[in-house]
Structure 1
Amino acid sequence: MTKSLRLVTHGGSFHCDEVLGYAILRRALPPEALAISMLTRTRDQSVIETADIVWDVGGVFDPARGRFDHHQRGAPVRLDGAPYSSAGLLWAAYGRDAVRAILAGRGGEDVVERVWTEMDEQVVRLVDLADNGQRPVPDFGDEGLDRAARVADGMALPSLIEVLNLPWDAAQVDRAQAEDERFVQAAEIAGAFLDGRVEQIRARIAARDIVLEAHARSADPHVLELDRGMPWQGPAHDADLPVLFAVYPDKGGVAWMVGCMPPEPGSFAQKLPLPDVWAGLRDAELARVSGVPDAVFCHLNRFIAAARSREGALAMARIALGLTREPAGLGAK
């Protein structure tokens, strides 16, 4: 017989760590147990002591007893000394089970571990730092950069979750119930973020092998030929491939794209932009200038173009490469 679980965190205003922690538990725990379990938000010690899993309250860290608080003296820290929040503690204990549930068999244990690790480094750790009053973004000493960092910080998951709290002057009648309802709503948002981020990482891992195989088959090592659109820039960077352009179908299947490789991940620049004379042209004018009959468009900033066929897109990539290969010192391989 499946045992019901009493899940307890503190009441009142909430922060991202306990909200994300609840989202993690909702994915990690067996569905049949979760269906008959109860979430209680309280600081009542008698309720806390009888709970099965307690996080962000209670003053105890003891995974064997289902206790995951981080406010007490001697609270656990990461290997580098960075503090945990309840999200980080629950991620360490239940995160791999949550990833397995989200992936639903799409990837072995190696993929689960890689997803868990990347989520821990890029998401959960930042939630931990924010909850402990440590800004993940440093002070740059430049007014403009610091302002941009504060804006980015304000759009981060902790900020987005915490604005769902009731305002201080909300009606006091049934406030506790309203706060509990807001908490559940926030957990749905955090859970959707968790699901989406795990899926993105899984997809990027899957794309890496496809990109490497496609590059090995491509006629020119500078032109990556893909049969479908996917994240290709990251894998090409990671593998240090000599790719300058990628050719792939758009999601609608009505055109083939020519994408430029940036010099580094996340950059809006290009290692080798498309020809200047193509910039901003479309259809017949672009076909005339480029010499590719089914050319469709070239972005004004020359980082992407399209043709109606794979052959047309490949021709555009080869023309762009041929126009600048020798001056750029790339040479033929």
Structure 2
Amino acid sequence: MTDGLRLVTHGGSFHCDEVLGYAILCRALPPGTLAASTLVRTRDRGAIEAADIVWDVGGVFDAARRRFDHHQRGAPVRTDGSPYSSAGLLWAAFGRDAVRAALAGRGGEDVVERVWAEMDEQVVRLVDLADNGQRPVPDFNDEALDRAARIAEGLALPSLVEVLNLPWDTAPADRARAEDERFARAAEIAGAFLDGRIERIRARVAAYDTVLEAHARSADPRVLELARGMPWQGPAHDADLPVLFAVYPDKGGDAWMVGCMPPEPGSFAQKLPLPAAWAGLRDADLARVSGVGDAVFCHLNRFIAAARSREGALALARTALGLAPVPAAGLP
């Protein structure tokens, strides 16, 4: 019979760091151990001392003893001097095990390390900063940009988790039990987010070699020809490929897509937008203007189009290159 662990964090209202920390542990611990373990949310000193793993409470950081608080004097910081929260401390200690469990053998230790590092930089560090009262996004000294940044922060994981706390004027018969139930719901959300981000990073890493191999086989280095849809923009950026368009089948298999390459990762712009005359056209109208008989549609914002066949999609891409206002070999 597997021995369970006593897992302890503080009771009352919760923040994203201890919720995400619990989600990390739920993935890092062996399933049998986790099933036999008990979560206790308390500030009782005796319960804290008797626990096997403690985070965000207790006033001690000692990874060897599995104590992961960050509120005490002399709390640990990252190499850049930024503070940890309990999420960051647990991610450092258990994150790689959580990633291995989520990947379930789909990738070696190099993939585990890359996923762990990207998650640390893109997710966990931001939770750490938010929990310590530091804005992940600095002030832009521009009212509109600062307002947009505040709105974005309000949609970030810490806000999504913390809105599940009970309102101050709620008076359930057993408030502690109600708070524990809310914590469990928040941990499910944080865990689903964790799983999804790990999977997306894994998929992008897995796509890298496939994209490079497909690019080497493509007839025109500016048109990436893929046999299936996949995250291609990140690998194309990472490898500095001269790609302007990618051609690939849609997920339903009913059409072939022509996607535009953005000038930088995450941008909604395009290095070379599809022709302005195609914008918003469908079916016969697009076929007439483009000269591609099986053309299906072109998005109004000119970042994607489709045809019913691979040959049609390639024809759309080649026509768009030919209609470029400047030579399309080395667009910035």
The question of a shared fold, defined as TM-score above 0.5 by the shorter chain, is answered with: yes
Give the letter for the 2:79 counterpart.
L
Q: Deviations over 1:50-85 (max 9, x none)?
A: 100000000111111111000111111101111000
Q: How many Å separate the matches in 2 of 1:188 and 1:54?
A: 20
Further displaced range: 272-281 or 94-103: 272-281
Q: How many Å separate the matches in 2 of 1:58 and 1:204?
A: 39
Q: How many Å separate the matches in 2 of 1:128 and 1:122?
A: 11
Aligned to 2:327: 328
Aligned to 1:27: 27
Unaligned runs of 5+ in 1: none
Per the TM alignment, residue 209 of structure 1 is displaced from its structure 2 partner at its CA by: 1.0
Which aligned runs of 4 or more in structure 1 are off by greater than 4 angstroms? Answer: none
Q: How many Å separate the matches in 1 of 2:175 and 2:307?
A: 59
What secondary structure is seen at the aligned counterpart in 2 of 1:123? helix
How does 1:262-281 map onto structure 2 within 5 Å?
Answer: 262-281=262-281
Aligned to 1:49: 49
Aligned to 1:283: 283
Aligned to 2:224: 224
What secondary structure is seen at the aligned counterpart in 2 of 1:324? coil
1:13 and 2:13 equivalent? yes
Q: Deviations over 1:124-153 (max 9, x none)?
A: 000000000001011111111111011001
How does 1:1-333 map onto structure 2 within 5 Å?
Answer: 1-324=1-324, 327-328=326-327, 330=329
2:172–2:178 Cα contact (<8 Å) kept: no
What secondary structure is seen at the aligned counterpart in 2 of 1:208? helix
2:222–2:329 Cα contact (<8 Å) kept: no
Q: Deviations over 1:32-61 (max 9, x none)?
A: 111111100100001110100000000111
Q: Deviations over 1:11-50 (max 9, x none)?
A: 0000000000000000000111111111001000011101
Give the letter for the 1:213 counterpart.
E
Q: How many Å separate the matches in 2 of 1:243 and 1:177?
A: 56
2:14–2:162 Cα contact (<8 Å) kept: yes
Distance 1:48 1:230, change over 3 A: same
Q: How many Å separate the matches in 1 of 2:151 and 2:300?
A: 28
Per the TM alignment, residue 330 of structure 1 is displaced from its structure 2 partner at its CA by: 2.5
Give the letter for the 2:211 counterpart.
V
Q: How many Å separate the matches in 2 of 1:329 and 1:57?
A: 58
Q: How many Å separate the matches in 1 of 2:11 and 2:302?
A: 53
Per the TM alignment, residue 172 of structure 1 is displaced from its structure 2 partner at its CA by: 4.7
Further displaced range: 295-304 or 48-57: 295-304
Q: How many Å separate the matches in 1 of 2:327 and 2:269?
A: 16
RMSD: 1.1
Give the letter for the 1:22 counterpart.
Y
Q: How many Å separate the matches in 2 of 1:149 and 1:276?
A: 31
Q: How many Å separate the matches in 2 of 1:101 and 1:219?
A: 40
2:256–2:306 Cα contact (<8 Å) kept: yes
Per the TM alignment, residue 173 of structure 1 is displaced from its structure 2 partner at its CA by: 2.1
The normalised TM-score by structure 1 is 0.97
Q: How many Å separate the matches in 2 of 1:169 and 1:215?
A: 60
Q: How many Å separate the matches in 1 of 2:22 and 2:84?
A: 16
Per the TM alignment, residue 329 of structure 1 is displaced from its structure 2 partner at its CA by: 5.8
Q: How many Å separate the matches in 2 of 1:132 and 1:196?
A: 25
Q: How many Å separate the matches in 2 of 1:49 and 1:272?
A: 62
Give the letter for the 1:101 counterpart.
A
Give the letter for the 1:14 counterpart.
F
What secondary structure is seen at the aligned counterpart in 2 of 1:246? strand
Give the letter for the 2:131 counterpart.
D
Say how many residue pairs are matched: 330
What secondary structure is seen at the aligned counterpart in 1 of 2:7? strand
